[in-house]
């Protein structure tokens, strides 16, 4: 009798567990590490590694490794083609594998002590077992230097918008994501640069789409 009841209830419980909808919200920690090898006065080679901890900071949800070649075509303009291999596990039961081919065009302009940095990124995402698509991202950052003792820090604010050709249930994703945040950056030495930041992401397509993230970026110049 007991075994019969278990045989009825256990499959029901298993179906209920697997049918839980993916979470809309998450808390994450993002880290990006860059190793830069100058190849001349106007070219740099980048090796890039990214690790993001999610599911409320409890486990890895995004791992990336790749490289890029930066061409400084003007003191205020850099063009950087990039390749990244990406593996993601955004929630239980989900696994995404991508090859990302990027073209990053970044311009800078100074107005007084303010520096405006505008990054335009065109990204082709080649996905395993899923349809490929193209994404455009535009990120505007404004920073301002302040002196604390003998050290110069640059607080910044930034906003980034995303457009994708990906097909979703409602049609084309279009303008589907916005990230806004701020932080502080500093060139600690000639060979070490770092950023510390907070970002809030609002996304009506991805799951989880609404993300509160704190993060770091470290750049080591050889």
Domain segments of the chain: what residues? 25-221
Sign of the alpha-carbon torsion through 104, 159, 140, 215? negative
Element (H, E) at 131: none
Provide the pLDDT for residue 181: 98
Strands in 112-209 per DSSP E: 114-127, 133-143, 146-148, 151-168, 171-189, 192-203
Q: Which residues pair with 197 in a beta bridge?
A: 183, 215
Three-state DSSP at 126 gives strand
pLDDT tens by residue, 76-103: 999 999 999 999 999 988 899 999 999 9
Q: Say whether domain 25-221 belongs to CATH 3.10.530.
A: no
Instruction: For 3-18, write each residue's pLDDT tens digit.
Output: 443 444 444 444 444 5
Q: What share of the chain is helix, strand, coil (3-state, %, to 5)?
A: 10, 75, 20
What's the whole-number mean pLDDT along residues 164-187?
90
Neighbours of 61 (CB within 10 A): 22
List pLDDT tens digits, range 98-140. 999 999 999 999 999 999 999 999 999 999 878 899 999 999 9
Q: ∠ CA 107-104-100 to the nearest 5 degrees? A: 165
Give SS3 for 53.
strand
């Amino acid at each position: 009798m007991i075994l019969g009841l278990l045989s009825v209830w256990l499959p029901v419980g298993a179906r209920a567990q697997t049918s839980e909808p993916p979470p809309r919200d998450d808390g994450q920690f993002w880290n990006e590490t860059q190793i830069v090898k100058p190849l001349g006065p106007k070219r740099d080679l980048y090796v890039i590694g990214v690790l993001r901890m999610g599911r409320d900071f409890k486990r890895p949800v995004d791992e990336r490794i790749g490289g890029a070649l930066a061409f400084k075509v003007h003191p205020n303009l850099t063009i950087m083609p990039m390749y990244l291999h990406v593996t993601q596990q955004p929630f239980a039961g989900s696994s995404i594998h991508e090859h990302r081919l990027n073209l990053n065009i970044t311009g800078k302009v100074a107005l007084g002590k303010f520096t405006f940095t505008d990054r335009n990124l065109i990204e082709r995402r080649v996905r395993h077992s899923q349809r490929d698509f193209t994404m455009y991202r535009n990120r505007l950052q404004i920073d301002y230097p302040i002196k604390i003792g003998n050290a110069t820090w640059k607080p910044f604010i930034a906003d980034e918008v995303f457009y994708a050709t990906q097909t979703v249930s409602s049609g084309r994703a279009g303008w589907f994501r916005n990230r806004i945040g701020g932080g502080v950056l500093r060139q600690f030495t000639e060979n070490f640069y770092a950023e510390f930041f907070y970002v809030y992401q609002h996304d009506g397509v991805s799951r989880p789409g609404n993300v509160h993230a704190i993060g770091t970026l470290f750049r080591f110049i050889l």
